[in-house]
Amino acid sequence: MGCESCAGAVRGKSDASNYRKSSAETITVALVGNPNVGKSVIFNQLTGAHQIIGNWPGKTVGLLSGKLIFEGHDLDIIDLPGTYSISSDIGEEREVREFLLGRKPDLIINVVDSTSLERNLALTIELLMLGIPIVVCLNQIDRAEKQGLVIDSDNLEEELGVPVVPSSGLRGIGITDLLKIGLTSLGSDEEKIERRYHTPRIASQLDSVKEMLPRNAGYPSYWLAERLLVGDTEIEDNIYSATPAIRNAISEIRSALEREMEDGISSILLSDRFAVAATIASRASQYSGKQEVTKEEKLHNLLTHRVFGLLILMGLSISVFYALFTFGDFFATMMIDASESFRPDFIGRFGDPDFGEFIWSGLIGGTVSVLSIALPYLIPFFILLAVLEDTGYIARVAFIMDSILHRIGLHGKAFIPMILGYSCNVPACMGCRIMETDRERLLSIFAVTLVPCAATSIVIFGLVGTYVGFVWVVALYAFNLALIALLTRLAYSVLPGDPAGLIMEMPPLRRPSLEVVLKQSWHRVKDFIYIAIPLLIIVGLFLASLQYLDLLDYISDGMSPVTVTWLGLPAVTGIVLISGILRKELTLLLLGTVALTSDLGEFMTDVQMIVFSLVVMLYIPCVATVGALVKEIGLKRATAITLFEIGFAILVGGVAFRILSGVM
């Protein structure tokens, strides 16, 4: 980060009032705050986007921007990852710091969780030093009220010297005020802009550092003083090359402080911020009446209990599967029967029945099969997942799984992206950024790519569930978990190193919000439909034309050593498996196309269905996932994982075919 890029981070009045004159200019607004405070909820409210929201810390990874026109201003709203501080070089802290200093947003909306002001305000105080106009958003005020916590926002405003707006992101309360008030503060007076909150002991030391610094160094001055006191090498290089003399003076102040407090400098400064934050928070908040947290606490204790917690997890997973199975099966059968009854009639309308078949399986069949086979499983699945995400249960699962995951070189948090993986591997791979070290990120990404995503589940439920039986569905998922454990353990021994430990803030347990759940699941279903149907039609038409032109047999024959001889599958599944690279649900939906019947029970035996599902489950991360892999871990590792999984799936499939043929 160059010095120039930060020049002007201290914005004066003239600068800001420019925005008033030309409303054509875009105003950048950054959402900054601790993890899990509701930044993305507010972002979604403002921009109409559908950023992932859920109830655990660390969902948003990377920056996302959205546009909004508000009272004639063009606003560019940026949703940032949650962070506890912006001073160290931990991933998200660095990312947010570099954004704030490099991109110089015009306004920071500092979202804080009203129910834990003390910890949240420490970041606020740190942000205030940057000299960027800030409006503090006192979010989740509804939860504070419920807990009997009353926050005097006027008092807080006075203490902090910046506007404070109580809000409830979920209910959309206070969101417009936030922007209105935020935009007026763009023109605040310069002398009010850089604020500094320290205890007297630290304040005096910082003042002496600040006095030594050259004017117009290009950084907000108190912030710069703190950075130099901490010894931030990037900034030191910039400043000390111009004024080398102050280096020793500053390091003397640092050692004196460290000796006096018997602590490291960065920890001293953090402690100081927390101390100031605690005072401000306690002055502004008051508990009234009794606190009703006991019920939540009891539930929490039950869910994280070492025995009951695991039993509940197992019971819950089985019930989810069972519910999906019965519900999905019922509707899928109903809808397939309905579509089948149209089929002969439809084909009959064309003079040439082969051509009619071609149109049906290529054009209509795709849409019909997405609607009838995929959605009955997908919709309830996405709803259940969104409920789990919003309650905070996922973090409890991470807690009880911690010691188990340690054995495969990971820790509890790795379970969070894995659960997301059951929905879609792509966000799950990105979600692995919550793992602290590169090694663990790589391991958990590897584990995630083995998790059967919703599309794979459609295949398993639609094929094995419908034709073979529920028990085999559960067996497949259990086998999959065992394989993940085994393979990750093996990968762990290839990538040695001490597993870092679990460090995770425990989110509150919440009653899931109907709106969040419905919206979240709707967006997932919508994304699915928008991509799957056109793709299915294109690929379906392509396969149907191959069939119509009698070309399919060449491909099938070419692949038969693997498909027929080794895996024991019908030869035409070769092309189906290849198409599945695009999206895995295609494998099931296209089976109907190549089988020329919609009763797959006539086309494949039970063993073939299980082997087929097993291969689909493991054989390759789909194109989108491979793309995400390349982005997250680089081309070489992504290729290695992909090739390994193809080989492994074929191996397991062939072995399973031989074993299952013996027993079934």
Ligand X SMILES: Nc1nc2c(ncn2[C@@H]2O[C@H](COP(=O)(O)OP(=O)(O)OP(=O)(O)O)[C@@H](O)[C@H]2O)c(=O)[nH]1
How far apart (Å, rounded) are the C-alpha atoms in residues 357 and 360? 5
Question: Considering the rule CB under 8 A, would residue 117 count as an interface residue with another protein?
Answer: yes
**According to CB under 6 A, which residues from 270 to 299 bind ligand X?**
none
Give φ, ψ of 485 to 5 degrees.
-60, -45
**According to CB under 8 A, which residues from 395 to 434 bind another protein?**
395, 398-400, 402-403, 406, 411-412
Q: Which of 5, 28, 88, 605 binds another protein (CB under 8 A)?
A: 88
How far apart (Å, rounded) are the C-alpha atoms in residues 540 and 582? 12
Question: Considering the rule CB under 6 A, would residue 516 count as an interface residue with ligand X?
Answer: yes
Q: How many residues form the binding site for Mg ion (CB under 5 A)?
A: 4
188: left (phi over 0), alpha (psi -120 to 50) or beta: beta
> For another protein, what does the binding mask look like between residues 452 and 491, x meaning CB under 8 A?
----------------------------------------
Question: Considering the rule CB under 6 A, would residue 139 count as an interface residue with ligand X?
Answer: yes
Paired tokens of 248: 């020793």
Nearer to ligand X, 36 or 579 (CB): 36
| 93 contact choice in Mg ion, another protein, ligand X, none (CB below 5 to 8 Å, kind-dependent) | another protein
Stretch of 58-66, 259-267, 538-546, 595-603 lying at the interface with ligand X (CB under 6 A): 58-66
Stretch of 83-91, 227-235, 374-382, 586-594 lying at the interface with another protein (CB under 8 A): 83-91
**According to CB under 8 A, which residues from 259 to 278 bind another protein?**
261-264, 266-267, 270-271, 274, 278
Question: Minimum distance from CB of 172 to ligand X (Å)?
Answer: 9
Give Cα separations from 246 to 6, 211, 250, 251, 258 (angstroms): 21, 10, 6, 9, 18
Give Cα separations from 43 to 28, 63, 434, 513, 623 (angstroms): 13, 12, 21, 17, 29
Question: Minimum distance from CB of 79 to Mg ion (Å)?
Answer: 6
Nearer to Mg ion, 59 or 524 (CB): 59
Nearer to another protein, 169 or 412 (CB): 412
Instruction: Tell me which amino acid residue 462 is.
Output: G
Strand-strand pairing, 107-113 and 26-33: parallel
Stretch of 168-176, 181-189, 277-285, 365-373 lying at the interface with ligand X (CB under 6 A): 168-176
Contacts of residue 22, defined as CB under 8 A and 6 or more positions apart, other chains included, come to: none
- Burial class for 98, CB neighbours closer than 10 Å (0-12, 13-18, 19+): middle
How far apart (Å, rounded) are the C-alpha atoms in residues 18 and 260? 47
How far apart (Å, rounded) are the C-alpha atoms in residues 434 and 420? 13
Q: Which of 34, 60, 140, 587 binds Mg ion (CB under 5 A)?
A: 60
How far apart (Å, rounded) are the C-alpha atoms in residues 525 and 537? 18
Question: Minimum distance from CB of 520 to Mg ion (Å)?
Answer: 13
Single out the residue of 42, 90, 89, 82 nearest to residue 66, CA to CA.
42
Question: Minimum distance from CB of 268 to another protein (Å)?
Answer: 8
Q: Which of 15, 190, 340, 505 binds another protein (CB under 8 A)?
A: 505
| 516 contact choice in another protein, ligand X, Mg ion, none (CB below 5 to 8 Å, kind-dependent) | ligand X
How far apart (Å, rounded) are the C-alpha atoms in residues 520 and 318? 23
Paired tokens of 601: 């029970």
Question: Considering the rule CB under 6 A, would residue 60 count as an interface residue with ligand X?
Answer: yes
Single out the residue of 6, 51, 27, 191 nearest to residue 109, CA to CA.
27
Q: Which of 45, 47, 85, 140 binds ligand X (CB under 6 A)?
A: 140
Q: Calculate helix-pair angle for 393-406, 294-303, nearest 10 degrees.
A: 30
Q: Which of 40, 457, 488, 625 binds Mg ion (CB under 5 A)?
A: 40
Q: Cβ(544)–Cβ(593) under 8 Å?
A: yes
Q: Cβ(583)–Cβ(531) under 8 Å?
A: yes
Residue 405: CB atoms within 10 Å: 23
Question: Considering the rule CB under 6 A, would residue 59 count as an interface residue with ligand X?
Answer: yes
Nearer to another protein, 201 or 526 (CB): 201
In the block, tokens 């990404």 appear at: 445
Question: Minimum distance from CB of 519 to ligand X (Å)?
Answer: 11
Q: In which element (H, E) is residue 96 found?
A: helix 91-103
Q: In sequence order, which ranges of 285-422 are alpha helices (DSSP H)?
A: 294-303, 308-348, 353-359, 365-369, 375-391, 393-406, 415-421
Q: How many residues form the binding site for ligand X (CB under 6 A)?
A: 28
Stretch of 221-229, 333-341, 497-505, 569-577 lying at the interface with another protein (CB under 8 A): 497-505
| 88 contact choice in Mg ion, ligand X, another protein, none (CB below 5 to 8 Å, kind-dependent) | another protein
**According to CB under 6 A, which residues from 18 to 47 bind ligand X?**
33, 35-41
**According to CB under 6 A, which residues from 215 to 234 bind ligand X?**
none
Q: Cβ(376)–Cβ(458) under 8 Å?
A: no
Q: In which element (H, E) is residue 352 found?
A: none
Nearer to Mg ion, 247 or 519 (CB): 519
Q: Which residues bind Mg ion (CB under 5 A)?
A: 39-40, 59-60
Q: Which residues bind ligand X (CB under 6 A)?
A: 33, 35-41, 53-55, 57-60, 81-82, 139-140, 142-143, 168-170, 390, 510, 513, 516
Q: Which residues bind another protein (CB under 8 A)?
A: 83-85, 87-90, 93, 116-119, 122, 258, 261-264, 266-267, 270-271, 274, 278, 301, 304, 306, 395, 398-400, 402-403, 406, 411-412, 436-437, 499-506
